[in-house]
């Protein structure tokens, strides 16, 4: 009945899969009786146990049925035009274009990361926590890290946040998604125009509606915000991307009062507040009214892009909502990373790292401004890691980018970050120098 | 004008915040001129630089404006009824109820986890990869882990998956969300009834619609599935939770053919296929038709609950869609975990761990069945880590749970997992023994 050889290894599996194939191919019709174990064993020169195992596997998967004292019979199985995949391993990612200088995608230079400290802390955590690292992490995150962040916020930003209200997430994009789940998909999010495209696209990806509100030199225009009927305003008051606008407190108070006039919330995206290169970081909007502002920040920018770790501080009302939605879920960030980061914050390593970075970037910035001097007008608020360079003589944005590209420089203009048309953004290049090295 | 003392430390910040307070309180009205730096410095007995810094901070935040050669003037700031949070640290999580025996929430006993191996691998990864651990991970995950999983799937499940098509995610819940983003929010998901509540609730949380389809002893009923007009079917054919039903190939082929009759997909949730305690794991539905099935599994159950790491294998069409949506995003799982797990898989540690676990659970299961013998009828397919125990003499499900609770045992019944009413599930307890120890 069967004409095939069984190798030395894993005989029963080979037998099982050969018979399986015959059934799927339709060669073995429904109702066909399989040969008795003994006879098949003799035919193939294998042990009865081998055949037994193969038949049992076929039975367990429903290819055959047994009938008391009669043996095994082929079951009815619809044939499938199953497409079989090739096993060839293709490259992981299409190779990205290489530039001499990239002023678009900026990421902290690896050599600035305190790797040895980090490695030491990880070994420490491994030794200290041991098997506790295997425990399920509460939805909001590990309490040790939450407290560490709370203390850090108090020291560095004057933010007085109950650790309980701090939610640990796997980076900004993940947190944007959680915010949609918290505020609901019928929420209309006002986002900054021009702005960081990931914000609006992530809201869309999560099924939420958004509207672009123009940004002027004082950040999001509150009059325009009030006119679009939004329920939440996603802003970065410390240093707007890409315009670099810093929102003065007079506008912030307007923003808060807008939120207080309804069931509205402000999302303060403090993505690079650590990098105010001169003077203290600007005060947060959160501090002005903790019950109306969701404060959020990430460590991906300040530590390492691979560190997908961010957090948000929730107003009481939203915290209740969060717990009702997620109290049965485990936190998404591995406890390991959380413990290591907590140690980094509590040991003061993080702040030392940031001030080293700031020193470094002051140098980069100085060199950069020297180089740009004369060829363009630079708008720089001393915050964050990018400046706006206006080229009045340029024909248009296309020419600016082409000129740069011809020198192997990847650059974008304000207009590339527009979500809806806007006046007066022409001939302005956005220079992100966070990836530059001296 | 100002009557307050400045301490020794951080004088300029104290000065800044005192003036700030006055402005927010409305004590310093709009237009008021601040004293000259020199005079204020003399009044307070501090250096002019201190005053200078304080004024600059106030200026940067927009509390004051400067007028050429006139000095600093208070800006217009709407007063805010800012609520101030208390700094008391509350407990992280409400203490969970403690049971003597928990047959609901099961998690691998910590002592079974090969912690020393894992710790060794982590030190190894740290030494081997060094600063590469800081690099941004491509959206789909680290290629080394993707290949390791591909090889593992081939060895253990006979699944032939191109590593490229494997997407690394932060556990099942996260992957369910990604699937919603892939298939779109207008997709109607068919979920198993009774079933694992997290699946339907996570779909809802992500804004997708779902419909419950009854499960019989052969898994999801395909006739009923065909009648509800669903676009995707979320099933666990190897071992349905909670009924324990194993879907025979005759039904699987019907399921595939249902999917092939339209723009439909099958989501094969293989959550505990590793734990078929006898014989080889059942063949996957994915292997029958890789272009219609999203195969998914997680390591949270097999390794440790804190390890929020799962994966899915995408059909070509969905892989294209995935890349178009996420190619600019970084993967959500830290590279560190990914490298460590890859080492665990490639070194054969994971499979050794699983077979040790299976041995262990065979013992637990044997003891459990002995104990249950006589008091109830046990339905057990030898797959997975839970069995169904029917108590025909019990008055109702309430009594079963009450009886158990009186002995400090936490237990649920089939009816607790119903998403829509269904016949014939009464008096059946679901006994999850994955958390039991010998």
Min CA distance, A393 vs chain B (Å)? 30
> Which residues, at least 6 apart from B165, have a Cβ–Cβ distance to it below 8 Å?
A85, B313, B314, B315, B316, B319
Runs of H (alpha helix) within A206-308? 222-227, 249-260, 285-288
Residue in B with minimal Cα distance to A174? B332
Q: Which of A80, A173, A250 sits opposite B76 (nearest CB)?
A: A250
Q: How far apart are CA A12 and CA B3, in angstroms?
A: 91
pLDDT of amino acid A323: 95
**Mutate which: B49, B57, B92, vs A, most A CBs within 10 A:** B92
Picking from B26, B78, B150, B156 by the largest number of A CB atoms within 10 A of its own CB, the best residue to mutate is: B78
For residues A260 and B78, what is the distance between their CA atoms, to the nearest angstrom? Answer: 13
Among A53, A111, A126, beta carbon nearest to B119: A126
Select the more confidently predicted residue: A182 or A1.
A182
Mean pLDDT (chain A, rounded): 88
d(CA B244, CA B235): 12
Do A171 and B289 lie within an 8 Å CB cutoff? no
| pLDDT bracket for residue A88 (50, 70, 90) | very low
Answer yes or no: is the ipTM higher than 0.95. Answer: no
Structure tokens at A90: 């293709």
Chain centre distance of CA A397: 30
Confidence of residue A203 (pLDDT cuts 50, 70, 90): very high
Q: Which of B49, B80, B196 to mutate to test the interface with A (most CBs of A within 10 A)?
A: B80
Please list the pLDDT of chain B residue by residue as tens digits (438 residues): 666 666 666 788 888 888 888 887 777 888 889 988 888 888 888 888 888 888 888 888 888 988 888 899 998 887 765 433 333 333 334 445 678 888 887 777 778 888 889 999 999 999 888 888 888 899 999 999 999 999 999 888 888 899 999 999 999 999 999 999 999 999 999 999 999 999 999 999 999 999 999 999 999 999 999 999 999 999 999 999 999 899 999 999 999 999 999 999 999 999 887 888 777 778 899 999 999 999 999 998 788 777 889 999 999 999 999 999 999 899 999 998 999 999 999 999 999 999 898 889 999 989 999 988 888 999 877 777 889 999 999 999 999 999 999 999 999 999 999 999 998 889 999 999 888 877
> What number is the average pLDDT over the span A119-132?
89
Round to whole Å and give the CA distance between A316 and A290. Answer: 9
Q: Locate the chain B residue with the closest alpha carbon to A146.
A: B92
- How many residue contacts between A and B have a Cβ separation below 8 Å? 278
Contact residues, chain A, for B14 at CB < 8 Å: none
Distance from CA of A394 to the nearest CA of B (A): 30
Out of B77, B89, B164, the one facing A250 most closely (by C-beta) is B77
Yes or no, beta carbons of B336 and A331 under 8 Å apart = no
Contact A110 B135 (CB under 8 A): yes
- Inspect the interface and report whether the beta carbons of B80 and A134 lie closer than 8 Å: no
Record the tokens describing residue A226, joined without a space. 């009030």
Give pLDDT tens digits for A370-422: 988 888 999 877 777 889 999 999 999 999 999 999 999 999 999 999 999 99
Joined tokens for residue B272: 């505990």
Optimal mutation site among A9, A62, A331, A434, interface B, most CBs of chain B within 10 A: A62
Instruction: Give me the pLDDT at residue A93, please.
Output: 42
CA distance A87 to chain B (A): 6
Closest CA to B305 of B116, B110, B175, B166: B110
Tokens of A11: 């005989």
The pLDDT value given to residue B89: 38
| Residues on chain B touching A247 (C-beta within 8 angstroms) | 62
Closest by alpha carbon to B242, among B190, B192, B280?
Answer: B192
Q: How far is CA B160 from CA B48, B155, B286, in A?
A: 74, 9, 9
CB-based contact A90 B162, cutoff 8 Å: yes
Give the pLDDT confidence of A252-275 residue by residue, as tens digits.
Answer: 999 999 999 999 999 999 988 788
Residues of chain B found within 8 Å of residue A57, distances taken between Cβ atoms: 279-280
> In the prediction, which pLDDT does A89 show?
38
Say how far apart CA B322 and CA B140 lie, in whole Å.
9
Distance between CA atoms of residues A28 and B304, nearest Å = 44
Beta strands (DSSP E) in B143-231 are: 166-169, 188-193, 209-216, 219-220
Count the neighbouring beta carbons within 10 Å of the beta carbon of residue B161. Answer: 25
Give me the pLDDT at residue A250, please.
Answer: 92
Cβ-in-10-Å burial (0-12, 13-18, 19+) of A373 comes to: exposed
B249/A77 touch (CB, cutoff 8 Å), yes or no: yes
Q: What is the mean pLDDT of residues A101-129?
A: 85
Place of tokens 């060839």: A88
| Separation between Cα atoms, residue B337 and residue B129, nearest integer Å | 12
B282:A130 CB<8 A: no
């Amino acid at each position: 009945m069967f004409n095939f050889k069984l190798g030395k290894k894993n005989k029963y599996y080979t037998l099982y899969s050969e018979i399986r194939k015959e059934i799927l191919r339709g060669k073995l019709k429904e109702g066909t009786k399989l040969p008795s174990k003994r006879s098949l064993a003799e035919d193939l020169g294998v042990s009865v146990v081998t055949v037994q195992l193969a038949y049992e596997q076929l039975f367990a998967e429903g290819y055959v049925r047994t009938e008391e004292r009669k043996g095994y019979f082929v079951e009815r199985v619809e044939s499938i035009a199953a497409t079989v995949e090739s096993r060839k391993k293709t490259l992981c990612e299409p190779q990205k274009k290489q530039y001499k200088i990239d002023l678009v995608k900026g990421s902290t230079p690896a050599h600035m990361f305190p790797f040895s400290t980090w490695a030491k802390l990880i070994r420490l955590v491994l030794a200290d926590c041991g098997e506790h690292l295997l425990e399920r992490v509460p939805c909001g995150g590990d309490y040790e890290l939450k407290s560490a962040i709370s203390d850090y916020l108090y020291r560095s930003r004057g933010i007085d946040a109950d650790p309980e209200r701090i939610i640990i997430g796997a980076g900004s994009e993940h947190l944007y998604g959680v915010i949609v789940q918290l505020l609901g998909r019928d929420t209309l999010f006002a986002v900054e125009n021009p702005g960081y495209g990931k914000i609006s696209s992530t809201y869309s990806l999560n099924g939420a509606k958004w509207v672009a509100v123009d940004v002027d030199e004082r950040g999001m225009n509150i009059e325009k915000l009030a006119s679009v009927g939004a329920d939440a305003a996603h802003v970065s008051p410390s240093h707007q991307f890409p315009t670099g606008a810093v929102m003065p407190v007079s506008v912030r108070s307007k923003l808060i009062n807008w939120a207080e006039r309804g069931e509205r919330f402000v999302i303060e995206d403090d993505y690079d507040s650590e990098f105010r290169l001169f003077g203290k970081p600007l005060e947060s909007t959160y501090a002005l009214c903790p019950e109306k502002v969701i404060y959020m920040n990430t460590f991906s920018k300040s530590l390492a892009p691979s560190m997908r770790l961010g957090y948000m501080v929730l107003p009481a009302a939203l915290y209740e909502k969060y717990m009702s939605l997620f109290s049965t879920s485990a936190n998404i960030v591995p406890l390991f990373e959380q413990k290591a980061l907590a140690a980094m914050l509590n040991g003061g390593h993080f702040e030392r790292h940031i001030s080293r970075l700031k020193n470094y970037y002051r140098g980069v910035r100085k060199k950069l401004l020297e180089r740009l001097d004369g060829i363009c007008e630079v708008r720089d608020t001393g915050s964050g890691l990018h400046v706006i360079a206006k080229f009045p003589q340029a024909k248009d944005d296309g020419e600016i980018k082409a000129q740069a590209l011809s020198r192997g420089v990847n650059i974008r203009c304000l207009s590339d970050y527009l979500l809806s048309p806007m006046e007066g953004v022409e001939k302005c290049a956005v220079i992100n120098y966070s990836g530059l090295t001296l």
